[in-house]
Structure 1
């Protein structure tokens, strides 16, 4: 194996030498090109200087004759200058051109200058006009050959001396260098190809098989194995690789099963869970914990510091105290509008050492609200039941004491007892109705209910009460307006709303009921011209037993449960109810229920 590696490095060394030789020739070519450019600059400057002197002496310049003269002179001197260092092809003579500052050609060594186009836009001419020596490489439109152009301004005149040489000179040199380099590379390949084949069969094939096996295992194919049985280092590597793959397969299988179980358990938990190590970096967290804390769940959350992630001092303190004291801790905390019961426990190792901590969180907001509602409900029910019962018992005791013998007093007391008993019965019925609606997840006896007949029935029931209070009842409902619901529930809803609108109205007031279907919903409006409700009370009018004016409500026989029943009926049909009220002008209840 070492011998093969040594030979391989030797081959690489030879190839490196060839590459270095090749780069050296390229560098030589580059310097040759630079030398040619410098030579042309020198020639252009010389011509510009000579013609400038002649112009300064008042001599008339024949640019075309001068161009041919200098071209012949340069051609004769090529054998003695630096250009002779390289072999030059026969079509590589130096070309001379004279141009004025307007771009007109004044003389040309290789073609008729009078037929040549204007040269003002040429790059090298623009530079020469600015007083610099211009340079450019491009194809000559006249001779259809790539040329290197050098232009220099002629002093004392508005003329430019330009020399150019076809790039086939440099191209030819480049071709020769490539030819020599190719011969060298081919010679080197005659030695390297047989050795490369041998190395490919003895080293590359098993290594490639190992690489492919590693790639497949990385993709999850843990059943992949390498089949190579040579008695060398690669054979031993293949054997150890297969052993490692078998162990990895079993380990990954076990971990996958365990992680699946843990993940299922975490996702099924109703509470939040966070586990941290001794440095308070998160090692486990479920989505419920993120929901409770109001933070997004993502893969990068594991490994983060709990203090940076959870900006709640109480949670961090409970966990810190539990880890430091090595005892469980429990506390109730408020997160926004939620009440969270937090349990913190230390994580102990095999030798009872502290390895971190675990926090479990349970949202008990609804439980607390239910407890409060139950307490308030029991208290209100007790009070509401106690009042009529106390009144009934008091009058009964009075009758027992002798008032029963006075027909007028006895009749009056019996009427009051009857009123209180009716009030008590009504209260119990409404409590039972509210309890029934609250316990229902879905209403029964659903049918297509047309609202106009239902409202007509409600008006008939409440007509006497309205006449007693001199309140007019009006309806604006099309015959076709209907809703999928329980007719009795809708009737009960309307009775409660219209009855309230009558009771809390003013003399000669009115109650207007409207209903229409729009956008897949039934819109119901009950508006009165009564006393109205102050804005500060609007948020609480749907609470059980809540009365804005307790004295007036008791006088009118209200229980404080009517609007709560209305709210629960609307919720039963996934609708919504809103109220607008202007004290002294009236109140309007607006209901939206899917049709």
Structure 2
């Protein structure tokens, strides 16, 4: 409501009240009309002056403060020259918007705090398990070093736990650098078909060990050029295929497929393993998240692989997704930017 309308309503209320009282005592309509006119004008001027001087002036200062603080100015510079024609409504609107924004910020901070707690708890647990194992083996060796066979076994087990710690530290360092942008993306043009075949060849022995059949359809042999960081996409493929081995079934299959999406290429890695419950899918790319903690730790890994994969793909300004059915298998798919085909140069026509 405009200030003048507000003052007008109040002045009318005062004038009508005085006129009613006047009529009650004098019963003279002429006096009532004069009283009404005089009281209305004087009330309007008095109320307007009162509100303008003692209320609106203060509200304007508060509004300027809110407005400039929203712009990120220091408190000492917050009271500026911002002018508004309707400070009361503007203050109400801005305070509501500001309160909504602050509520959203507080909710985000609470989520970040919870994430920080979960992360520290997970890091502590992941480090504690191999450290306690190493400590136990060392204490056992200190107590009895006479049996060389047992000493060798304990040292091998301790060495495996040291390797696990090393993987944890390496992956934590990598994901930290990816998040902060310290690791640059070196874009090059390459054939994604060739990279997939290279990765498959490098993982061939591991597939045999897990009794998994790796397949890549011949119909995708036509060269498909993409623009991306070749080594980082190699890391993504290795991680996804390796995961399909860990959670695949014996004598199962892992297949890699490519789909042409006009200006993008969709790469999918599909297995017919144990699958993932639907309730876990939204959290699958979180750091240290495991659907089955006991089985995952027996299999090994740092628990950061999928988080690193997600960061790599998103740093390419692309997307990654997963679909899965428990007991039937999972499919991880990510997109890559197709390389731009350079047009053939137009040669000038030579006149004879």
TM-score (norm 1): 0.41
Q: Secondary structure at the match of 2:203?
A: helix
Q: Does the 8 Å CA contact 1:388/1:423 hold for their aligned counterparts?
A: yes
The match for 2:143 among 393, 398, 401 is 401
CA distance in 1, matches of 2:66, 2:154: 71
Which of 519, 533, 537 is the aligned partner of 2:262? Answer: 519
Q: Measure, in 2, the Cα distance between the counterparts of 1:383 and 1:544.
A: 13
Shift in alpha-carbon separation, 1:262–1:482, aligned structure 2, 3 A: farther
Aligned alpha-carbon RMSD (Å) = 3.2
Offset of 1:453 from its aligned partner?
2.1
* Rounded Cα–Cα distance in structure 1 between residues aligned with 2:277 and 2:178: 29
Residues 227 and 336 in structure 2, CA contact (< 8 A), matched pair in contact too: no
Cα offset for 1:479? 4.3
1:439 to 180, 190, 203: 180
Q: Of 254, 261, 284, which residue of structure 1 is paired with 2:91? A: 284
- Note if 1:500 corresponds to 2:303: no
1:560 Cα deviation from its structure 2 partner? 1.6
Q: Alignment partner of 1:453: what SS?
A: helix
Task: Return the alpha-carbon distance in structure 1 between the equivalents of residues 177 and 90 of structure 2.
Answer: 47
1:427 lines up with 2:230 in the alignment: no
Cα displacement (A) at 1:285? 6.7
Match of 1:496, SS state, is helix
What is the TM-score of this pair, normalised by structure 2?
Answer: 0.67
What stretches of structure 2 of length at least 5 have no aligned partner? 1-60, 79-86, 339-352
- Identify the structure with bigger relative contact order (alpha carbons < 8 Å, sequence gap 6+): 2
Kindly provide the CA deviation profile for residues 263-291 of structure 1, in whole angstroms up to 9, marking residues without a partner as x. 984663399x9xxxxxx94343787x67x
State the Cα distance separating 1:262 from its structure 2 match: 8.2
| Structure with greater proportional helix content | 2
1:373 corresponds, among 98, 106, 115, to 115
Q: Distance in 2 between matches of 1:435 and 1:262?
A: 39
The offset of 1:489, in angstroms, is: 1.2
Contact kept? 2:185, 2:315, Cα under 8 Å: no
| Alpha-carbon distance, 1:407 to partner | 0.9
Task: Show CA shifts across 1:331-355 (max 9, x none).
Answer: xxxx6xx8x35xxxxxxxxxxxxxx
- The Cα shift of 1:517 comes to 3.0
Query: How many angstroms apart in 2 are the aligned matches of 1:443 and 1:369?
Result: 29
Q: 1:381 to 1:518 in 2, by over 3 A?
A: same
- CA distance in structure 1 between the aligned counterparts of 2:147 and 2:72, rounded to whole angstroms: 71
In the alignment, the residues of structure 2 paired with residue 567 and residue 584 of structure 1 have an alpha-carbon distance, to the nearest angstrom, of 24
Which residue pairs with 1:594 in the alignment?
A: 337
CA distance in 1, matches of 2:90, 2:281: 48
Instruction: Please name the residue that 2:315 is paired with.
Output: 572
| SS of residue in 1 equivalent to 2:336 | strand
* Structure-2 residue corresponding to 1:268: 71
**1:426 offset after TM fit, Å?**
1.1
Aligned-residue offset at 1:513: 0.7
Q: Give the number of equivalent residue pairs.
A: 265
Query: What is aligned with 1:382?
Result: 124
Structure 1 pair 262/389, CA: closer, same or farther in 2 (3 Å)?
A: closer
Structure 1 stretches of 5 or more lacking a match?
1-257, 274-279, 294-314, 316-334, 342-361
**Stretches of 4+ aligned residues off by more than 6 angstroms:** 261-264
- The 5 Å alignment of 1:305-384 reads 340=102, 363-384=105-126
Q: 2:282 and 2:66 mapped to 1: Cα distance?
A: 43
**C-alpha separation in 1, matches of 2:265 and 2:237:** 14
1:545 counterpart = 2:352: no
Match 1:563 to one of 300, 306, 321: 306
- Residue 442 (structure 1) shift: 8.1
Residue by residue, what CA displacement relative to the aligned partner does 1:368-397 show, whole Å, maximum 9, x if unpaired? 333332222222111111110110011011
Secondary structure of the structure 2 residue equivalent to 1:448: strand
1:8-407 counterparts in 2 under 5 A?
Answer: 265=68, 268-269=71-72, 281-284=88-91, 292=97, 340=102, 363-402=105-144, 404-407=145-148
Alignment partner of 1:458: what SS?
A: helix
